Amino acid sequence: MIKLKISLKNYRGFGEQATTFFTLEKGFLAFVGPNNSGKSSLLKLFFELRNIFDWVFNFHGNSIIFPWKITNQVRLNGVDDPAEIFNDINNRPIEVIFDFSGSSGVTDFEFSKIKFVLVNDPRYGFQVEVASMGWAGPLPVGWADSWIPINKPIESNHANGMLGGLSYKYLRDTCREFLNQFLYVGPFRNAITEGTASYFDLQIGTSFISTWNSWKTGPNKNQNKIISKVTEDIKKIFRFNGLEINSSQDEKSLKIIINGKPYNSRELGSGLMQFIIVLGNAAIKRPEFILIDEPELNLHPSLQIDFLTSLASYAKQGIIMATHSIGLARSVSNKIIVVQKDEHEFSTIRAYEGLKNLPEFLGEMGYSAYEQIGFNRVLLVEGITEVKVFQQLLRHIKKDHETLIIPLGGRQFINGESVHELNELKRITKNIYVIIDSEKNSKNENLDKSIEEFQKMCTSLGLSICVTEKRATENYFPDYAIKEAMNSDKYVSLKPYERLREASLGWAKEDNWRIARSTNWEDVKNTDIGKFLESI
């Protein structure tokens, strides 16, 4: 499992604070904050410094022999004046540190950290200095644990098990995969205009239309299938009976047929066009990560989670988003980072404190407003990973846009002491349903005391609750869906009471929603989960 800790100083609104760091790993990460707080800058970091990362991590050797300084050799991506990215309060060098020391796979003969220092010197111009450290094994005799310029000659030291220079291979290969292959999606992403154009990493205009037409109608069957999948995803999200997305004859506009009626792209709303452009780009490029600014833009609340999970299905690793909506972030994100300005107008980040109580969450989601636009029930599930799983399952029976799914915070509220929170929820809405894992190791094993007490409490309050007959949600997934979602025939389905972490080849719980997305409803509807979801 790859985990990248990123430390940052003096980039745009960020200052010298040593605590300005966040961890990038598989799944959903959300930056939440007010306007001009710096959350969008954290996404732009990867886009604007991409050329520097490309230059360093696309080197083909394994030893550390790069120049100490890159002077005016690499241009910033999408930035005309390098001064733009420096903090305009202190004007000090930018420092970015990548730390992979928490990842599995770092060997004793690998560097695990790399530092970039960007200097905007009026005499010599824009420069980048690169250094490395984080020797994973014991340090050779006489070496200090300090940053090493990457052009520094390193002597062989056979006494310490070293054969030649220190290895750069893991750091290089991991960064090349993890950082260079991403798709940055800025706001205002619904433009279909004439002329070849791009908006950050998105193809738009006639260049997008031409690519779409080539992939849809060309001789490559895999490309044909990908466009067909995007079209089917959009059809399901908007609940169309039929959908065709075609290029006009001159490839200057899209011709879209919805439920048998033809439309030009300019006749349709920005929300639908956003789905076509963003999902189309993501499916064609198939990036490691998708970085998206304001995913809620132009979208009805009932479509926002569906948009994010559909988009994430085309990313190998996950989604990093900047959003104003704490409710949306809480619904889908494994980690939430709060971005705000301090008293000196520097941007700062901190981890979100987490779910304190369920009524507060409903308030953040604005449930009263949600009711006015079609939501008529609340489904409580165990945690963030289950939110996306049940959103996918409810999508099969067209109940996802009417159901607000709320995580219980793992076992935080699954006990007999949560009566106050549940009573407060009932003041907001009467239509509350609950589904949690039984965690049973065998069919005849009794429920854990906390689960049993929670079940009894829900029943006494008149809440409809399903405690799964099998051990957990992942025990219901069919073999074909697991293989398809994990893109490997090596994975097999779990036995009814098998723990995921004890499987011979398990997967991350964060991947459960991908498997649920690949599962046919016919394989769910006759189970206790399927019957419960159809009853709500």
| Per-residue confidence (pLDDT) for residue 353, from 0 to 100 | 67
Q: Do 140 and 200 sit in the same domain of this protein?
A: no
| Per-residue confidence (pLDDT) for residue 23, from 0 to 100 | 85
- Average confidence (pLDDT) over 511-530: 96
Q: Do 152 and 172 sit in the same domain of this protein?
A: yes
Do the domain assignments include residue 305? no
| Cα–Cα distance for residue pair 339/337, rounded to 1 Å | 6
Q: Do 38 and 173 sit in the same domain of this protein?
A: yes
Q: Do 371 and 504 sit in the same domain of this protein?
A: yes
| Per-residue confidence (pLDDT) for residue 368, from 0 to 100 | 53
Q: Do 36 and 98 sit in the same domain of this protein?
A: yes
Domain that holds residue 227: 188-286
The tokens of 310 are what? Answer: 């559909």
| Per-residue confidence (pLDDT) for residue 158, from 0 to 100 | 34
- Average confidence (pLDDT) over 339-351: 85
* DSSP assignment letter at 447: P
- Average confidence (pLDDT) over 90-101: 84
Q: Where are the alpha helices (DSSP H) in 125-168?
A: none
Where does a domain end: 181, 201, 218? Answer: 181
Distant-in-sequence, close-in-space partners of 354: CB < 8 Å, separation ≥ 6 = 409
Do the domain assignments include residue 338? no
**In the predicted structure, residue 459 carries a pLDDT above the cut 80:** yes
Distant-in-sequence, close-in-space partners of 431: CB < 8 Å, separation ≥ 6 = 376, 377, 378
User: What's the pLDDT tens digit per position in 210-254?
Assistant: 999 999 999 999 999 999 999 999 998 888 999 999 998 888 889
| Per-residue confidence (pLDDT) for residue 71, from 0 to 100 | 54
Q: Do 150 and 221 sit in the same domain of this protein?
A: no
| Cα–Cα distance for residue pair 491/501, rounded to 1 Å | 13
User: What's the pLDDT tens digit per position in 300-313?
Assistant: 877 888 899 999 99
Which position has the higher pLDDT, 132 or 93? 93
Q: Output the domain CATH number for residue 376.
A: 3.40.50
**In the predicted structure, residue 384 carries a pLDDT above the cut 70:** yes
- DSSP characters for 383-409? SHHHHHHHHHHHHHTT-GGGEEEEE-T
Q: Which residues pair with 115 in a beta bridge?
A: 97, 131
SS3 call for 298: coil
Do the domain assignments include residue 483? yes
Q: Do 126 and 196 sit in the same domain of this protein?
A: no
| Cα–Cα distance for residue pair 406/423, rounded to 1 Å | 15
Nearest partner of 208 among 283, 307, 286, 280, judged by Cα: 280
**In the predicted structure, residue 341 carries a pLDDT above the cut 80:** yes
Length of the chain: 536
Q: Do 384 and 513 sit in the same domain of this protein?
A: yes
| Cα–Cα distance for residue pair 497/518, rounded to 1 Å | 22
Asked whether the beta carbons of 279 and 233 are under 8 A apart, the reply is yes
Which position has the higher pLDDT, 195 or 478? 478
Q: Do 425 and 522 sit in the same domain of this protein?
A: yes
- Average confidence (pLDDT) over 108-120: 72
Which position has the higher pLDDT, 487 or 370? 487
| Cα–Cα distance for residue pair 201/9, rounded to 1 Å | 25
| Cα–Cα distance for residue pair 269/267, rounded to 1 Å | 7
Q: Do 167 and 251 sit in the same domain of this protein?
A: no
| Per-residue confidence (pLDDT) for residue 142, from 0 to 100 | 47
Q: Do 123 and 39 sit in the same domain of this protein?
A: yes
Distant-in-sequence, close-in-space partners of 445: CB < 8 Å, separation ≥ 6 = none
| Cα–Cα distance for residue pair 147/99, rounded to 1 Å | 13
Do the domain assignments include residue 404? yes
| Cα–Cα distance for residue pair 33/17, rounded to 1 Å | 18
Q: Is 247 exposed, middle or buried (0-12, 13-18, 19+ CB in 10 A)?
A: buried
At residue 89 the predicted structure's pLDDT band, cuts being 50, 70 and 90, is confident
Where does a domain end: 241, 256, 286? Answer: 286
∠ Cα 268 272 274 (to 5°): 115
Asked whether the beta carbons of 237 and 250 are under 8 A apart, the reply is no
User: What's the pLDDT tens digit per position in 468-480?
Assistant: 999 999 999 999 9
Which position has the higher pLDDT, 193 or 79? 79
The dihedral through the CA atoms of 450, 452, 453, 458 has a sign that is positive
